[in-house]
């Protein structure tokens, strides 16, 4: 083999990735992923600008920018800072959390259908919230409390049941599916038993809504995201190695069991923040990593997936507000339509390019 030593005196390995270095810092990132991520950020910012400008009090992008930098009157400031900006930020941050959470779960389960939903968190949260709304008549905050209690209780149960000499992605999925199916039936039943009006408002929450999002929501989800940034970045590499099998990862120095538990915990907390803020918005966690993987041509990774999640939610929220301007349509609906259609389109495109 040595006879065929390549003549290339390579300075850098022939990567599909490039090194970014600054003093003690260095990271390896694929240019294509960086490019795609940057494009996603730009598009998201563009939509954000539009979203800040539209509504009952329309403003031009220039006006929006001027207001943001503090050069406009009180009316504009009220509209932007009190009404539209918190909603926009909530959408973006919820999207970030869901996208990242989805990437983590898909990696841990090595399954493109993996998502925080398999831990049962989302369904547990839904059941908890619906029960609270129907029992306590939808008092302020009771839904959120019910969601968090139900979510964490379910996630802990699923984890406990799936844990048998360590967690195995496969068993986790199966237990999660069982829990999800059970809770789903329960929710349908609760909805049927409730008064029509209560059931409708519970259903709206179930679809996931940003209506009435204010700075309090921004705080909840913002705090979740900020607290999770360092753990997420620190665990990314271990996550990639776990994808290649437990033995190999361990051979490379990853402590398999604690790492996997930590990943599940991070993913669940991110998801919990999103659910507490906006309800169980479906599908973002599933679609964002898959869409991004297909755009960047690599494997599932957290940061790009998070950015794509944010973009999906911002676009969806804009659609929710513009397509049905007077109906308080929950953001979960366009999310499903846009995410589903886009994923379908990507699958179709790739079938033509014949690469999965």
Quick check: 103 and 289 in contact, CB under 8 A?
yes
Q: Would you count residue 343 as binding another protein (CB under 8 A)? A: yes
Among 58, 69, 70, 348, binds another protein (CB under 8 A): 348
Measuring CA to CA, how many Å separate 329 from each of 211, 316, 320?
8, 11, 6
Helix (H, G, I), strand (E, B) or coil at 298: coil
Quick check: 87 and 221 in contact, CB under 8 A?
no
Q: Would you count residue 184 as binding another protein (CB under 8 A)? A: yes
Helix (H) or strand (E) run with residue 44 in it: helix 31-53
Distance, CA of 332 to CA of 288 (rounded, Å): 14
Among 60, 71, 216, 341, binds another protein (CB under 8 A): 341
Distance of closest approach, residue 322 Cβ to another protein, in angstroms: 14
Q: Which lies closer to another protein via its Cβ, residue 194 or residue 264?
A: 194
Q: Would you count residue 195 as binding another protein (CB under 8 A)? A: no
CA 146 remoteness from chain centre: 21
Crossing angle of the two packed helices 196-207 and 121-136, in degrees rounded to 10: 150
Which residues pair with residue 6 across a beta bridge? none
Quick check: 297 and 246 in contact, CB under 8 A?
no
Q: Would you count residue 344 as binding another protein (CB under 8 A)? A: yes
Distance, CA of 327 to CA of 313 (rounded, Å): 18
Q: Would you count residue 253 as binding another protein (CB under 8 A)? A: yes
Structure tokens given for 76 = 């504009």
Site for another protein (CB under 8 A): how many residues?
102
Helix (H) or strand (E) run with residue 21 in it: strand 18-22
Measuring CA to CA, how many Å separate 16 from each of 13, 181, 289, 294, 296?
9, 42, 19, 15, 11
Q: Which lies closer to another protein via its Cβ, residue 5 or residue 73?
A: 5
Among 15, 41, 82, 212, binds another protein (CB under 8 A): 15
Binding to another protein in span 290-309, by CB under 8 A: 290, 293, 297-300
Q: Would you count residue 73 as binding another protein (CB under 8 A)? A: no
Q: Would you count residue 240 as binding another protein (CB under 8 A)? A: yes
The interface region with another protein, picked from 41-49, 95-103, 166-174, 268-276 by CB under 8 A, is 166-174
Q: Would you count residue 191 as binding another protein (CB under 8 A)? A: yes
The interface region with another protein, picked from 37-45, 49-57, 58-66, 321-329 by CB under 8 A, is 321-329
Q: Which lies closer to another protein via its Cβ, residue 72 or residue 110?
A: 110
The interface region with another protein, picked from 70-78, 84-92, 218-226, 347-355 by CB under 8 A, is 347-355
Among 108, 303, 313, 329, binds another protein (CB under 8 A): 329
């Amino acid at each position: 083999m040595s006879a065929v030593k390549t003549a290339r005196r390579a300075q850098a390995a022939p990567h599909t990735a490039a090194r970014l270095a600054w003093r003690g810092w260095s990271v390896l990132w694929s240019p294509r992923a960086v490019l795609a991520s940057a494009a996603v950020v730009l598009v998201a910012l563009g939509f954000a600008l539009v979203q800040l400008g539209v509504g009952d009090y329309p403003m031009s992008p220039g006006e929006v920018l001027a207001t943001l930098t503090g050069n406009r009157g009180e009316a504009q400031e009220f509209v932007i800072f009190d009404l539209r900006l918190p909603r926009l930020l909530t959408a973006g941050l919820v999207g970030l959390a869901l996208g990242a959470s989805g990437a983590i779960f898909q990696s841990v389960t090595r399954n493109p259908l993996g998502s925080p939903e398999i831990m049962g968190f989302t369904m547990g949260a839904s059941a908890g919230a619906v029960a609270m709304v129907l029992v306590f008549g939808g008092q302020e905050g009771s839904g959120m409390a019910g969601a968090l209690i139900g979510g964490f209780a379910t996630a802990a149960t699923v984890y406990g049941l799936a844990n048998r000499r360590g967690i195995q992605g496969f068993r986790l999925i199966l237990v999660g599916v069982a829990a999800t199916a059970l809770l789903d039936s329960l929710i349908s039943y609760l909805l049927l038993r409730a008064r029509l009006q209560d059931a409708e408002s519970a259903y709206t929450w179930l679809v996931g809504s940003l209506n009435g999002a204010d700075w309090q929501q921004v705080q909840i989800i913002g705090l979740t995201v900020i607290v999770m940034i360092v753990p997420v970045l620190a665990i990314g590499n271990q996550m990639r190695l776990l994808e290649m099998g437990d033995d190999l990862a361990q051979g490379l120095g990853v402590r398999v069991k604690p790492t996997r538990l930590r990943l599940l915990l991070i993913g669940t907390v991110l998801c919990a923040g999103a659910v507490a803020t906006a309800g169980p918005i479906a599908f973002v966690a599933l679609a964002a990593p898959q869409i991004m993987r297909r755009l960047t041509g690599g494997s599932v990774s957290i940061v790009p997936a998070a950015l794509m999640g944010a973009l999906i939610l911002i676009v969806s929220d804009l659609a929710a507000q513009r397509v049905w301007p007077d109906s308080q349509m929950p953001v979960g609906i366009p999310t499903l339509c846009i995410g589903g259609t886009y994923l379908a389109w990507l699958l179709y495109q790739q079938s033509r390019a014949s690469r999965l």
